[in-house]
Amino acid sequence: MSTGSAYNDDKGGSSSLGEPEYGHDPASGGIFSSDYKRHDDLKEMLDSNKDSLKLEAMKRIVAMIARGKNASDLFPAVVKNVACKNIEVKKLVYVYLVRYAEEQQDLALLSISTFQRGLKDPNQLIRASALRVLSSIRVTIIVPIMMLAIKEAASDMSPYVRKTAAHAIPKLYSLDPEQKDQLIEVIEKLLADKTTLVAGSVVMAFEEVCPERIDLIHKNYRKLCNLLIDVEEWGQVVIINMLTRYARTQFLNPNQNESLLGESAEKAFYGSDEEEGKEDKEEAAVLVKRKPYVMDPDHRLLLRNTKPLLQSRNAAVVMAVAQLYFHLAPKAEVGVIAKALVRLMRSHSEVQFVVLQNVATMSIKRRGMFEPYLKSFYIRSTDPTQIKVLKLEVLTNLANETNISTILREFQTYIKSMDKDFVAATIQAIGRCATNIGEVRDTCLNGLVQLLSNRDELVVAESVVVIKKLLQMQPAQHSDIIKHMAKLTDNIQVPMARASILWLIGEYCEHVPKIAPDVLRKMAKTFTNEEDIVKLQILNLAAKLYLTNLKQTKLLAQYVLNLAKYDQNYDIRDRARFIRQLIIPLDKGGILSKYAKKLFLALKPAPVLESPFKDRDHFQLGSLSHLLNAKAVGYQELPDWPEMAPDPSVRNVEVPEWTKCSSREKRKEKMEKPFYSDSEGESGPTESADSESEMASESESGSGSGSSNEESGSRSDSEDSNETGKEEKKTRKKVKKAVHESGDSEQSGDDEEEKKSQKKKKEHKPSSGSSSENEEESSTESSESESESESEESDADTKKKKKCPASKQVSKQPKPEKKEISLLDLDDFIPPASPQVTPVNNVVSNSLVTDLEGLSLTDSALSPTMISPNFGSVKMYNLLHRITGEGLSVEYCFSRQPFSPDPHMVAVQVQFSNNSETEVKNVRIEEMKLMSGMRIQSFPEIEVLAPGEAATVVMGIDFCDSTQAANFQLCTHTRSFFVSIQPPVGELMIPVFMSENEFKKEQGYLMGMNEISEKITLAEKSHIDYVVAQKVTSAANLSRVPCGSDKEFRFAAKTLSSGSLVLVTVITKEERTAQVTVNCEKMVIGTMLVKDILQAISH
Amino acid sequence: MINTMIHSLFLINSTADIFLEKHWKSVVSRSVCDYFFEAFSKASDPENVPPVIPTPHHYLISIFWEKTFFVAVIQNEVSPLFVIEFLHRVAETFQDYFGECSETSIKDNLVIVYELLEEMLDNGFPLATESNILKELIRPPTILRSVVNTITGSSNVGNMLPSGQLSSIPWRRAGVKYSNNEAYFDVIEEIDAIIDKSGSTVFAEIQGVIDACIKLTGMPDLTLSFMNPRLLDDVSFHPCVRFKRWESERVLSFIPPDGTFRLMSYHVSSQNLVAIPVYVKHNISFRESGASGRFDVTIGPKQTMGKTVEGIVVTVHLPKVVLNTDLTSTHGNYTFDPVTKILVWDIGKMNPQKLPNLKGTLSMQSGVPKPEENPSLNIQLRIQQLAISGLKVNRLDMYGEKYKPFKGVKYVTKAGKFQVRT
């Protein structure tokens, strides 16, 4: 195994240390002899009884170590003091021990018993540091002792000790890889730990020991996502990097449609998504038929929970999130990272260096992302050269038709810089801009030609090389430039430039028939003194001229070939021999010589000037390998997206106890959060017990309102006892108490009601049979998604199995637990009503609570909103009838996809089908007669539509938040038609995800005039739940806001043009009536929306 | 398979001597630094040493901090920024402990440095980097304490686990007590700009930070709000700031660390026009013959919002061919270092009635072609009591403690990377 050898290498390195090292430090040579004497007095001091003397001695020894001097002969004297009472002496002894134990294994063993004692110390700091030192002593004999210590520490009460245990795991692993299996067990255990302190360290251990065991992450995935924001910064980096890899194996590519359909990415992206909703199946054949992409809620969870970390002060964290977004987020969302990355450019130059490398790679793939920040990459004369060159790279990547003139103006300033390496890089950058952007090619070329008269040879040489590449693209027009360059051969000495000129003249000798032979003449003169690359080009030139201009150059060419024949360099001799055979065949003439002209003067493809950062993104961004553009040792390949998503249920099913109560699990984490901080996580090791007993109490209690009162009491008690004087807690508690007083009875009532309704559902859906106890699950089930239904079956199976064990647990589980744990149980028990508790936390929460709310959102509300529009609700409208259109029929629908070229526009998917006998050509939009403010982004012209064929395109219309129709002319090659698109009010918005709290808060701002509400009588009372939700989301492009009650439905969206919030509340009252309320700043929209929703619900 | 993140650390001074080494795993021979020295000798300037250097068996990741290189030895794949950021944190900690992070201060405190490194990194992975936690573990040196320690034999090392280490707010220690409770905030804004030859602004933006010095008893929970939070475009926070509150209400809500820290950094929305406080009139030219050049620079106030501009310093990197200068200034002093070719003109406070001017001739090497580019001028300045973006703190509220703290906000605007191309 590689560790073994790596380890041995290390050892080899260290044992050979000592003496030779002194060579580096001349000063130490002199003191060396006296060191021995001084060591004697150090030994004396260490043997004394006085701590102060010992300390002094240890300090001097440590200083020696720090300076890299050998102090190994003091080992016996030092190791005696390992049990010293003085903490500082002890620490310094530890430092010494860790440094030299490997070299003096036998003596080191003497100290082991002290550490073993330390492991049992009541002081957690001492336990932890004993474990740290014990695991840092690289002595193979003590591996079993280390193993035991780690296992014990992994279940220690103190999270700090558990963290230390996590740190010890890789140490032991590198010492003895045989222990892997046992260590994985410990890792598995620690991964289940719920304290933020441990999370980062254990993931680090995981990455080092068993990064391939991705299965260990499944059941901890959501927890890690949710804890992330409270983990210390270094842990965050490790976790984010690991989760990036995890997500790549578990979720589907959010940009899959785009990447599969290749070039016409954007069009296809929309097209294929909307496919499903159409009635007309035939037309689907036009585009690749795929299942619509629906993001896994867990994928979304990861993206959402990492996003706030872009605001971290730690550059490594920001970079980690940025690479996560780059590798995992849908194309439309990646943009958020640009701002944060640009911010990092203000940091130290080393940080800038790394960030710029990554920006350079990203800017190739996603140019639009950094375009707004173009000016942030402008170069200052004080930047270090390596930074300048990287900025230049980014600027070149960002160049396009619109900004090229500004960029070239900047480049002009750079060319005059005193930093010549930088000037050379600028010239290359100009060359790349010229190749990429045709419009400026001539301008660039002229600029470069001017540089040929620059005084600095390096600049001229670089220009020649770049000009050569540019000329190759269109040589005919530039014979004067070639002539100009031919003159340069007299002055330019840089070999690369000379070689380039000669190549150019040879290649295009027909354009400069008079000059070329003369150049060869001059070159023949200096041949012997030229560099090798120049000689090779002289040979080339000679050969080409011999073929095209035999009369003038025959003798010259032969002369040159003869010179080359006796050259020192065998490459040149070879080349000469080769050329001679080809062009001046002996005797009968080789067959090849007929083709000599073709061989030498074949048309050569123009070189592609491309960024050195191209394709670097196959390395995980932010990694060392990416930076070096070479695989570093231990680099974990970033896996490709799977074709089919692995079973998403692994993340909730793995732990059987949790299957039924995924929502409770979340709730529980929410509850436990306060404990991370103070009650130093007894919750950690006992965590599985928690969940079980929680289950138990849950099913036991059912409806006892009395008991829930009790709980809340004891809960705040336990908080009291845990107080370490943290203010945050106090306020939270106060408010909570208030809520409990008012809300307790209500909560238990809700509780009952929830149960009842769940029972009802059970009756309603005997087919699914799975007795879905929580509401969320049932709503996902009913959302009719294909993918879900598969997992549903398996869910149902497992649930059936679980049923009996679950009820057994009720009686069994609580008993074996100790009493103190019952306290925790009660905490967890609080309940189904907890969503109502959360508003309170808003005052104090460190962001976690809202995050957790978000979690419930992903599970329940997200899936219906994301799925339903794609399935049920896409309604086709007629734009042009077959008869009026003379065979061309046009339909459109609102695809509800974001229109990426302009976020303010509504994406309208237009479908053309040609029902006539003839081809329809040049289908396009013209003469838009729009209301003021309205804008249309037309689709690219459809060139030909064959008879019987159909095509689908996407266009964007900014309706300015009004339902006024957009009128325009639809033209074909023969005719034009006046058509208009009028949007239903519900299509003028895009969904907004928000929590219940945010919703209520926003609603508070939109009262009075901005609130419109209407009542309605429903047809059937049993269908008020998800069906209503579906109807509403099909009537308008809204997203559901998660909410605790099943009588209220909330939806949120914002209008596309102005971004005003649209908040919809549907409350079912009594039996059959419901009230629809819309809060929106735009009253017209509100009024119309209410009508539309009423209509949708009542149908 | 990954091993340790940071294997070893070498501190190297600007004359390429290793003056400290620390290994967290098996010892890596000093000779690994030869690769670094090679890159160092190639680089024209210490800043140009590549931060990441691959060697056959290791990777070297380094930072340059006030004339000292911190070189970390890495054996395996790691996020380079992770190491760079950590090394900066180490340097900042030294600075915090010893007042400066230099070769001398490190050599003088070798033992504390070693103890710190031991706590900051375990097996190459960061353990405790919060200065509040570290200060409980290892007390910073003071003269008084070192005297007391020598007499009594007591130590600098704490024997209890710092409370912060276990809490969810690791940045604050428990049991803080002050007799005067004070909370001061410094709003510091920097103008980054590139001004072109003709005086028009090529690029300008405002970056700001809010540094806090908080000496409050107990566990105060502070809320800082702004009059115009919309100005802030991009922000990054100290971990103590509750991000969700910022998202929803645009207020900074936090339980502060004890002492001084950077609360937030921000970038002002680029839609706002940036006021450029000074203008520069310049006329620098090199004559082809005669081996001399002219230098004439005047600075005047532009958009200063009625405040005085202070601390003006103009730095110019003159071309290599300039041998010496003969200049006279109406204000302040100037110095020219013929070795580094750096001209520094320290003007100080600007007097709008009589504009500061620096004028004279440059003597140049003869027989050498004149430089093509004129040097650019780097300008530093300071304007007190002004945040150039117009950002204003509205109020500071404290919850959770009974006493009334003394509060204060100070604004200052500086020039950041302010460059005038000539």
State pLDDT tens for residues A788-830.
444 444 444 444 444 444 444 444 444 444 433 333 333 333 3
What confidence score (pLDDT) does residue A426 get? 92
Which range of A16-30, A348-362, A853-867, A1072-1086 scores highest in mean pLDDT? It is: A348-362
SS (H, E, C) chain B: CCCCCCCEEEEEECCCCEEEEEECCCCCCHHHHHHHHHHHHHCCCHHHCCCEEECCCCEEEEEEECCEEEEEEECCCCCHHHHHHHHHHHHHHHHHHHCCCCHHHHHHCHHHHHHHHHHHEECCEECCCCHHHHHHHECCCCHHHHHHHHHHCCCCECCCCCHHHHCCCCCCCCCCCCCCCEEEEEEEEEEEEEECCCCCEEEEEEEEEEEEEEECCCCCEEEEEECCHHHEEEEEECCCECHHHHHHHCEEEECCCCEEEEEEEEEECCCCCCCCCEEEEEEEEECCCCCEEEEEEEEEECCCCCCCCEEEEEEEECCCCEEEEEEEECCCEEEEECCCCEEEEEEECCCCCCCCEEEEEEEECCCCCCCCCCCCEEEEEEEECCCCCCCCEEEEEEECCCCCCEEEEEEEEEEEEEEECC
- pLDDT (average), residues A960-983: 82
Q: What is the pLDDT of residue A960?
A: 80
pLDDT of A493 above 60? yes
- Confidence at A874, pLDDT banded by 50, 70, 90: low
Cβ proximity of B170 and A198 under 8 Å: no
- Predicted local confidence at residue A825, as pLDDT: 37
- Nearest CA of chain B to the CA of A385: how many Å? 6
Q: Residues near A122 by Cβ (< 8 Å), separated by ≥ 6?
A: none
Least confident span in A86-90, A423-427, A713-717, A908-912: A713-717
3-state secondary structure string across A162-206:
HHHHHHHHHHHHHHCHHHHHHHHHHHHHHHCCCCHHHHHHHHHHH
How would residue B379 be classed by pLDDT, with cut points 50, 70 and 90?
Answer: very high
- Order across the sheet with B393-399: list the strands: B251-254, B221-226, B393-399
Nearest to A378 among B113, B125, B203 (CB): B203
pLDDT at B85: 93
B145 touches chain A (CB under 8 A): no
**Residue A836: pLDDT above 80?**
no
The first and second tokens of residue A1082, run together, are: 């735009």
User: Taking the mean position of all CA atoms in its chain, how far away is CA B197?
Assistant: 29
- Comparing alpha-carbon positions, the chain A residue that sits nearest to B160 is A125
Cβ contact B54–A628 (<8 Å): yes
Whether B244 sits inside 8 A of A339 (CB atoms) is no
Residues B298 and B212 sit within 8 Å (Cβ to Cβ): no
Q: Please tell me the predicted confidence (pLDDT) of residue A26.
A: 42
Confidence of residue A270 (pLDDT cuts 50, 70, 90): very low
Residue A851: pLDDT band by 50, 70, 90 thresholds? very low
Distance from the first to the final alpha carbon of chain A: 69
pLDDT score of A394 more than 90: yes
According to the model, what pLDDT value does residue B156 have? 62
Q: pLDDT of A313-326, one tens digit each?
A: 999 999 999 999 99
Q: Is it the case that residue A597 has pLDDT exceeding 50?
A: yes
Question: What are the Cα distances from residue B178, in Å, to A726, A749, B132, B410?
Answer: 17, 49, 16, 22
Instruction: Please say whether the beta carbons of B226 and B411 come within 8 A.
Output: no
- The answer to whether residue B337 neighbours chain A at the CB level (below 8 Å) is no
Task: Give the B window 300-329 contacts with A, CB below 8 Å.
Answer: 317, 319-320
Average pLDDT, chain A: 73
Phi/psi for A678 (5° steps) reads: -105, -45
Residue A604 has pLDDT above 80, yes or no: no
Residues 6+ apart with CB under 8 A from A822: A693, A814
* A498 residue type, one letter: R
Percent of chain A with pLDDT over 70: 71
Residue A141 CA neighbour count, 13 Å, CB half: 10
Residue A417 CA to chain centroid, in angstroms? 37
Give the pLDDT of residue B410: 94
More confident residue, B11 or A454: B11
Q: β-strand B201-215 against B182-195: which pairing, if any?
A: antiparallel
In terms of pLDDT, which residue wins out, A933 or A149? A149
Characterize the bridge pairing of strands B182-195 and B406-420.
parallel
Most confident of the ranges A137-151, A881-895, B265-279, B355-369: A137-151
Between CA A114 and CA A100 the distance in angstroms is: 17
- pLDDT attached to residue A782: 42
Strand order of the β-sheet with B357-364 is B278-286, B292-301, B357-364, B322-329
Confirm if A886 and A937 have CB atoms less than 8 A apart.
Answer: no
pLDDT, tens only, A526-585: 998 888 989 999 999 998 888 888 888 888 888 999 999 898 999 999 999 888 888 877
- Higher pLDDT among residues A25 and B270, named by residue: B270
Which residues from B are below 8 Å from A54, CB to CB?
Answer: none
Q: Is B420 an 8 Å CB contact of chain A?
A: no
Neighbouring residues of A290: CB distance < 8 A, sequence distance ≥ 6:
A256, A257, A260, A272, A275
Chain-chain contact of A1001 with B248 (C-beta, under 8 angstroms): yes
Q: Do A731 and B400 touch (CB under 8 A)?
A: yes
Place of tokens 């559902």: A761
DSSP 8-class letter at A679: S
Q: Is the pTM of this model over 0.95?
A: no
Closest CA to A991 of A1064, A1086, A900, A1095: A1064
Maximum separation of any 2 CA atoms in chain A, in Å: 115
What residues in A contact B321, CB-CB < 8 Å? none
Distance CA A866, CA A295 (A): 9
More confident residue, A320 or B122: A320
The residue whose two tokens read 């003021």 is: A932
Give the pairing of strands A1061-1069 and A1073-1080.
antiparallel
* Confidence (pLDDT) at A950: 81
pLDDT at B67 over 80: yes
Q: How far is residue A892's CA from residue A955's CA, in Å, rounded to a whole number?
A: 10
Angstrom distance (rounded) from CA B111 to CA B117: 10
pLDDT exceeds 90 at position B253:
yes
- Residue A871 makes CB contacts below 8 A (sequence gap 6+) with A276, A277, A784, A785
List the alpha helices (DSSP H) in A180-295: 180-191, 196-209, 215-218, 221-227, 233-250, 256-261, 265-274
Residue B20 with chain A: CB contacts under 8 Å: 66-67
Task: List the structure tokens of B13.
Answer: 């001074």
**Contact flag A237-B84 (C-beta cutoff 8 Å):** no
Query: What's the pLDDT at A772?
Result: 39
B2: chain A residues, CB-CB within 8 Å: 170, 207-208, 211, 634, 636
Please provide the distance, in angstroms rounded to a whole number, between the alpha carbons at the two ends of chain B. Answer: 54
Q: What is the mean pLDDT of residues A864-893?
A: 67
Of A419, A366, A424, A423, give the one whose Cα is nearest residue A394. Answer: A366
- Please tell me the predicted confidence (pLDDT) of residue A185: 92
Q: Are A300 and A221 in contact (CB under 8 A)?
A: no
Q: Percentage helix, strand, coil, to 5, in chain A?
A: 65, 10, 30
What CA–CA distance (Å, rounded) separates B82 from A241? 11
Rounded to an integer, what distance in angstroms lies between the CA atom of residue A616 and that of residue A603? 31
How confident is the model over A718-742, as a mean pLDDT? 44
A393 vs A610: CA distance, rounded Å: 10
pLDDT, average across residues A127-135? 88
The HSE-up count of residue B88 (CA atoms within 13 Å, CB side) is 16
Regarding predicted confidence, which is higher, B263 or B172?
Answer: B263
Tell me if residue A908 falls in helix, strand or coil: strand
Q: Greater confidence, B152 or B247? A: B247
Average pLDDT over residues A115-132: 87
Q: What tokens were used for A199?
A: 């999370």
Interface contact A312-B239, CB threshold 8 A: yes
pLDDT of residue A589: 59
- Quote the minimal CA–CA distance from B404 to chain A in Å: 16
pLDDT above 50 (res A689): no
Q: What does the pLDDT read at residue A318?
A: 94
Instruction: Kindly report, residue by residue over A1002-1021, the tens digit of the pLDDT.
Output: 888 787 777 888 887 776 65
Question: Is A694's pLDDT higher than 60?
Answer: no
Query: From CA A937, how far away is CA A955, in angstroms rounded?
Result: 6
pLDDT at A787 exceeding the cut of 70: no
Pairwise CA distance, residues A205 & A185, whole Å: 12
What residues in A contact B27, CB-CB < 8 Å?
A: 10, 13-14, 17, 99
The continuous run of DSSP H or E covering A91 comes out as: helix A87-100
**pLDDT band for position A587 (cuts 50, 70, 90):** low
**pLDDT higher for A273 or A291?**
A291
pLDDT above 70 (res A706): no
